[in-house]
Amino acid sequence: MDFNDLNTEFLNEFDSYDDHQCVRRFVLEDDIIAFIAVHNTNLGPALGGCRMKPYANEAEAINDVLRLSRGMTYKNALAALPLGGGKAVIIADPQTQKTPELMQAMGAAVESFEGDYVTAEDSGTTEEDMVEMEKFTGHVTGLPPQMLEGSEYGELGGNPSPLTALGCYHGIKAAVKARYKNEKKLSGLTVAVQGVGAVGLELAQLLKQDGATLVITDINEDGLAVAKEKLGDVKIVPPNDIFSVEADIFAPNAMGGALNDYTIQQLKVDIIAGAANNQLLSAHHDKALLDKNILYVPDYVINSGGVICVGYEYFRKSGYNPQDFDIARDSMVKHVENIYQTVSEIIALAQDKSQPTGETADRLAEDKFLNGAALADINDADSNEEGQASFGSNGGTRLVQ
């Protein structure tokens, strides 16, 4: 396997370049190209998933790996994880070009960072691919639960979607408390849920359990049928109508870019809080929501339950545990529930400074990974007394992003 590090002069040409620590180009099996970007390791090894996608060209893949790895630094910092941000992309079609040998070569690519980069699955890769990668590197997490059974860290493995949903649920409760002051309960509130896939359906169940009225949509009819069966009394609207639903909260749980010039003008909600990544089509939509008096909960903060889940799995697996976390499922769940505190802190700060919440979250994250501000104290959570959520598990992809 050949590899070389991209130089600063070359990287400066890319919009998403942000003084990344290292961006490495690999030539894998069958001349397939991959990139691994380590954005920042001030807080610890750079954790971020490995994406496989038939990018049109190398420039597109580089921009993506730069953008996504930077995003992981911010996400991991605000998730109070002693982890930095990184990402891997492979320029290949997961349907036709993926082989065990390719994934093993990618494992060797991860190993070239000697632990500075830790990988996991992402869109286009699966738990099984992580098994192939693990043959060549120990710096991989998100392994199939059956591989973990009987091992001392088995209780930490498995599909993180229910934990992502649980984190979102607590983030929504924090936003509701901030917006409606003394109101902590969701009963009496209507939530418009876009996307009832792995995370969206789990979240919808938690909201329903807490008394919220739901209006849901999805482009997948089968998914809607499953949702209707699980949720019972729920209104279904066509995908394009979800933005103009008369509701208190809009929860985007589908694809990125749901918040844009066109959709924001239709919204009639007070709060936006959901699991989807990259909800804002452009950075200026953060301010557009503030101007419309809509409280936006930054996506990468509220959806960090999944990365907390795979992070704990890695801590147990590797023995890396600088914060002395109790590496057990209950503590991990508590850590996820602490998203309530983080969201509350961001909203309070944003309101104090009359600043958009996304921008406020970014500054808070930078305080941690650039200026050495302490990570949140995960033992300080009071969300437990509020959240009586319980969660099961359903199938679905795990995305570490």
Catalytic (active-site) positions: 87
Residue 126 engages ligand NAD in binding (rule: CB under 6 A): no
Among 164, 338, 344, 360, binds ligand NAD (CB under 6 A): 164
**Cα 355 from chain centroid?**
23
Nearer to ligand NAD, 24 or 39 (CB): 39
Nearer to ligand NAD, 120 or 290 (CB): 120
The DSSP element (H or E) to which 3 belongs, if any, is strand 2-5
The DSSP element (H or E) to which 60 belongs, if any, is helix 58-78
Residue 177 engages ligand NAD in binding (rule: CB under 6 A): no
Q: Cα–Cα distance between 52 and 109 in angstroms, integer?
A: 14
Residue 263 engages ligand NAD in binding (rule: CB under 6 A): no
Structure tokens, 53: 């996608």
Closest to 167 (Cα-Cα) out of 342, 393, 398, 353: 342
Residues in contact with ligand NAD, total (CB under 6 A)?
Answer: 29
Q: Cα–Cα distance between 63 and 84 in angstroms, integer?
A: 19
Neighbouring residues of 163: CB distance < 8 A, sequence distance ≥ 6: 305, 306, 308, 309, 332, 333, 336, 391
Residue 133 engages ligand NAD in binding (rule: CB under 6 A): no
Nearer to ligand NAD, 26 or 197 (CB): 197
Residue 286 engages ligand NAD in binding (rule: CB under 6 A): no
Closest to 313 (Cα-Cα) out of 86, 103, 139, 122: 139
Each residue 83-112 as x (binds ligand NAD by CB under 6 A) or -, in order, gives: ------------------------------
Residue 297, helix vs strand vs coil:
coil
Residues listed for the chain: 401
Residue 397 engages ligand NAD in binding (rule: CB under 6 A): yes
Among 89, 276, 280, 378, binds ligand NAD (CB under 6 A): 276
**What is the closest distance, in whole angstroms, from the C-beta atom of residue 285 to ligand NAD in the complex?**
16
Q: Cα–Cα distance between 55 and 57 in angstroms, integer?
A: 5
Binding site for ligand NAD (CB under 6 A): 160-161, 164, 194-200, 217-220, 223, 239, 253-255, 275-277, 303, 306, 396-399, 401
